[in-house]
């Protein structure tokens, strides 16, 4: 076990960030967390706020005063702060640029004269667009299809460029279809898992895009946080890794695991891949990480926490059509 290291986690009150903070504290690290609570929830921090090794700052990563207070103490940074909804990024790209790109630049420029030795970034597999190769390796062509994916990729480029310039180590983890308890449920139309769980609770039909045979590399949150912590323990630096489950599953199979039910089919959306499937051979070869939670087990664990989705919006064919209008207008 490493000596108690001080770690900054941006986006600490979000879905992935809150789970990561819990695990870091469990392993004895001292955690400084920043979150503006626009996407994150203070409720996600309820297990953390009483922990003497957790220091929470409710602010934006563009707040340089608070940011530098944390960076002056921390040697490692997990950068997860971002606006993550895909569909609204088409109509409101500016807020995505300000948060995901400008916010990342502000973080990295302030790392220049700090104690920070390593930045571990939560990148997105959406940078691959519609992959030409399945499973998709890290050297696949980059072709983001919508503004969210573009801003996450630009942030990755900023981290790579300035970390090399400032001689700070980095690791970028391209995450595939993360799911689990505390996944964000409020706000815009988003990830299929949250949409389906809210529909199940309300005894409403599942809204399936296309015929449901499209597949996704659903990766359970515990495997994701294990990958982040692996990068903290390892001496590996200046690398990009895919993080996925090692399998890919159809939307129809997800419905089966959720107990089945009636289905309403929606038009297939342009710009969405028929399959997401991470080639994780690189991370398995270079580290001791590997996914442990099967999709069947992960969905079972999620159903045990289904009450998390009691306040989630219930989407139907009409509301989804309205929410995705600009998707069909602009994405080809």
Catalytic residue among 146, 148, 179, 253: 148
Q: Could you tell me which of 195, 153, 178, 154 has the C-alpha nearest to residue 20? A: 178
User: Does 148 participate in catalysis according to the annotation?
Assistant: yes
Q: Count of CB atoms within 10 A of residue 326's CB?
A: 14
HEC per residue, the chain: CCCCCEEEEECCCCHHHHHHHHHHHHCCCEEEEEECCCCCCHHHHCCCCCCCCEEEEECCCCCHHHHHHHHCCCCEEEECCCCCCCHHHCCCHHHHHHHHHHHHHHHHHHHCCCCCCEEEEEEEHHHHCCCCCCCECCCCCCCCCCHHHHHHHHHHHHHHHHHHHHCCEEEEEEECCEECCCCCCCCCCCCHHHHHHHHHHCCCCEEEECCCCCEECCEEHHHHHHHHHHHHHCCCCCEEEEECCCCCEEHHHHHHHCCCCCEEEECCCCCCCCECCECCHHHHHHCCCCCCCCHHHHHHHHHHCHHHHCCCCCCCHHHHHHHCHHHHHHCC
C-alpha 131: how far from its chain's center? 19
Catalytic residue list:
148
């Amino acid at each position: 076990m490493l000596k108690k290291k001080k770690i900054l986690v941006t986006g600490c009150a979000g879905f992935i960030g809150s789970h990561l903070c819990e695990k870091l504290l469990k392993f004895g690290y001292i955690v400084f967390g920043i979150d503006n609570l626009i996407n994150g929830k203070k409720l996600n921090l309820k297990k953390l706020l009483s922990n003497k090794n957790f220091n929470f700052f409710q602010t934006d990563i563009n707040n340089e005063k608070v940011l530098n207070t944390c960076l002056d103490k921390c040697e490692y940074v997990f950068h997860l702060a971002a606006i993550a909804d895909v569909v609204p990024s088409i109509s409101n790209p500016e807020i995505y640029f300000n948060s995901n790109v400008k916010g990342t630049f502000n973080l990295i420029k302030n790392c220049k004269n700090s104690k920070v030795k390593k930045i571990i970034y939560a990148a997105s597999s959406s940078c691959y667009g519609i992959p030409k190769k399945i499973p998709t390796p890290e050297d696949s062509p980059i072709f983001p299809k919508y503004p969210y994916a573009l801003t996450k990729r630009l942030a990755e480029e900023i981290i790579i460029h300035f970390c090399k310039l400032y001689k700070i180590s980095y690791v970028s983890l391209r995450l595939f279809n993360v799911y689990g308890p505390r996944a964000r449920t409020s706000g815009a139309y988003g990830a299929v898992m949250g949409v389906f769980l809210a529909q199940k609770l309300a005894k409403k039909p599942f809204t399936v895009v296309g015929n449901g045979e499209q597949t996704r590399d659903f990766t359970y949150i515990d495997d994701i946080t294990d990958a982040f912590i692996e990068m903290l323990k390892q001496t590996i630096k200046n690398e990009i890794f895919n993080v996925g489950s090692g399998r890919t599953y159809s939307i129809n199979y997800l419905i089966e695991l959720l107990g089945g039910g009636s289905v309403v089919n929606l038009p297939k959306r342009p710009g969405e891949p028929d399959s997401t499937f991470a080639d994780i051979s690189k991370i398995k070869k270079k580290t001791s990480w590997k996914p442990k939670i099967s999709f069947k087990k992960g969905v079972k664990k999620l159903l045990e926490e289904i009450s998390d989705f009691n306040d989630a919006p219930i989407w139907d064919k009409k509301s989804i059509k309205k929410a995705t209008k600009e998707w069909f207008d602009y994405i080809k």
